[in-house]
A and B are shown apart, each in its own frame.
Chain A
Amino acid sequence: MPEQVIWGMEVFLNGLMAGVLYALVALGFVLIFKASGIFNYSQGVMALFAALTLVGIMEGQVPFSHLINATFGTEIHHFGWHVPALLAILLTMAVMVLLAWLVNKLVFQHLVNQEPIILFMATIGLAYFLEGMGDMMWGSDIKTLDVGLPQGINPMIDEVTYGIFGYGFFIDNLDLWATGIAAVLVVALVVFAQYTKQGRAMRAVADDHQAALSVGISLNFIWVMVWSLAGFVALVAGIMWGTKSGVQFSLSLIALKALPVLMLGGFTSIPGAIVGGLIIGVGEKLFEFIVGPLVGGATENWFAYVLALVFLVFRPQGLFGEKIIERV
């Protein structure tokens, strides 16, 4: 088999893995948009905030320590304990639920029935607020996140592919874990949305929140639940991306990777986010591999958007999005 084809297969597989990571970020957007029609600009910052909180809890860092020390002249930074990863994840999740409740109570409850653009603007404000809050709570230094996920080349895949093709494929262990976790997450979310009372209520609110209200569904509860779920997805995305690069403020920029995925997969479909992520991941990696060397490389960012735009021409609602029918 020609070398280029073998390398192309390796690139294809790595594109799939990268796509899963993009999809993880896109999922959070989809959940909130599906249930409340809000395009949550702060989803990337939520991933950052969740990851910062997780590291802070794991390392026993005192939140707001800089502020406390500057105000009271103290010198406290750490509680002196380390929290195991699993417990820290649970505690972080509790913080994200609290955040969801606060966001709903203080922001969106007051904006019911407002235009989508108003709600969007509110999420921009929320993004800046959360970024500043994360900075004040946990500091802005780069933090190492280690929840026990393995990184580096998977030796088994390396050996097997070497045996077959005479060239060992590089697949990152972290990407394999991310794929497994994303698969479980999507199945759980689909099952939740289709087969549980709360899930069905969530879909009812998404379809028509006034009709849902009239049959006794609590909008507040559903919105807190959806923001909590988005917080959980943000935490998972934050763990995956934070393990790769350290937890730092540029983590919020991962949202940029989710936008073409959403355009392609649709804003309202959980499977759409996954399929969109995979298409974008594979598409941009293969394009970079084949065309990149001819045009000087660095094609991935713009190609993802071009690919999404091409899909939009044929399916404006995205691959799995709901078709918008407006009667005049």
Chain B
Amino acid sequence: MKLKLATATAAAILAAAPAMADLVFPDLSYRTGPYAANGIPFSDGYQDYLTLLNERDGGIGGEKITINECETGYNTEKGVECYESTKGEGSLVYQPLSTGITYQLIPKVSADGIPMHTMGYGRTSAKNGRVFKWVFNYPANYWDGASHAVTHILNENDGDISDKTIALVYHNSAYGKEPIRTLEKLSEKHGYDLTLLPVDHPGQEQKSQWLQIRREKPDYVIMWGWGVMNQVAIQEAVNIRFPMENFIGIWWSGSENDVKPAGKAADGYKALTFHNLGSDYPVYDDIQEYVVDRGKAAGAGDQIGTVLYNRGMYAAMLATEAAKTAQEIHDTSAITAEQMRDGMENLEMTEEKMAAIGLPNFGPEFTVTCENHGGNGMGAVAQWDAEAEEWSLITDYFQSDQEILQPLIEEDSMQYAEENDIELRCDE
């Protein structure tokens, strides 16, 4: 009896654990709780792309991919538990899709030697690879986003916004406060007035903030929201008849989920993005053929082509391209987490590469280096067409104001290095 039990237990463990040669990509997702509507499409996109590589190409460089999903509920404690429970299974790179979880994981991944990619979120100064060896945030970060919004406003006003007022409506959390310093610095440079309007979590009640906007009549409103805060803000803006074309959200405030509840009135609302939109790309035909039609889609298959699905797929694509780079550098298909980090640090995304993948012009071109883990700070502006119910890019990719941002990143990362006694790298 004991032997049978032991055999059954061993069989169960073997069945549950990934084969040691597999390339393991953990997916810290949130399919439940208040933010599930955003977590689901991102996770679906992330997993479907990895499944596509397995089904179509037999994995990466001949190595099969194993997806290790763990539900965080967008809860920082659960996110850390997920990390602890999956890190020993050969995880190559973590993408927690939460700034709160990111902050908790930075010291952990640094100690455990597993890279983390926080695309468009997390700690902005992690861009400095001299300090943050294991953390990457290419192709763009929060401070890039703040600068993109101001540059777009500048472009709309012939380069002079010294007589303009910009209000920042932000989630009153570490995430929401990220752009403040950048916007203040940019305000000194360009002469606009900045009004700060914090909204408490979760953001279901924003009457005070929008009454103030109605009274003070800022020329532009920039939003740093997530979840229900976005939908309520857009509805309140509609209610006070704020011009939608002067309302710009960060990329986490620019999905279909955010604009649809306000209906036709949300037409013209803008949001930043660091990747392209829609589903008119050859890779989607492959996802349909190899993933959805074979019944292997991560979700119900109803999210394909949405903004957050695209973002999840883009995250997976960047991760797998880094894995390919790592395989080339180390001349082995069965890479380790440390080798994956090398792949990420030598990643070069070119238009030729994206076109070959089936995603032409999907993201900006960028190069990651030892010093620069954040890419070139390129982003674009998208606008919502309520009639067609679709987002579309209204600008090309443009660069953030590096003259302002680079010193801020340097200052913040050096302070972190000093506090944590980190030896700077990349000097040789």
Contacts and interface: CB of A to CB of B under 8 A. Distances in A.
Interface of A: 7, 10-11, 14, 17-18, 66, 69, 73, 131-132, 135, 139-142, 144, 146, 151-153, 170, 172, 241, 244-246, 248-254, 257, 285, 288-289, 292, 296-298, 300-301
Interface string B159-197: 000000000000010000000000000000000000011
B61 interface: no
Contact of A244 (B34, B35, B214, B235): B235
Nearest to A145: B261
B241 A153 contact: yes
Given A18-B205, A153-B241, A252-B34, A300 B231 contact: no
A250 B235 contact: no
Contacts of B228: 245-246, 248, 250-251, 253
B34 A300 contact: no
Interface in B26-68: 31-37, 40
Given A7-B215, A246-B231, A298-B200, A292 B208 contact: yes
Nearest to B38: A142
Interface in B318-354: none
B232 interface: yes
B240 A170 contact: yes
B107 interface: no
B239 A140 contact: no
A292 B202 CA distance: 18
Contacts of B241: 152-153
Nearest to B238: A152
B239 A151 contact: yes
A285 B210 CA distance: 12
A93 B211 CA distance: 35
B204 A144 contact: no
Given A141-B37, A142-B257, A252-B34, A245 B204 contact: yes
Contacts of B197: 297
A288 B40 CA distance: 35
B235 A170 contact: no
B373 to A, nearest CB: 32
Nearest to A10: B211
A251 B37 CA distance: 12
A288 B210 CA distance: 12
18 contacts: A131-B32, A135-B36, A140-B31, A140-B32, A152-B239, A153-B239, A170-B211, A244-B232, A244-B235, A245-B235, A246-B231, A248-B34, A248-B231, A249-B34, A249-B35, A289-B208, A297-B198, A300-B200
Nearest to A302: B200
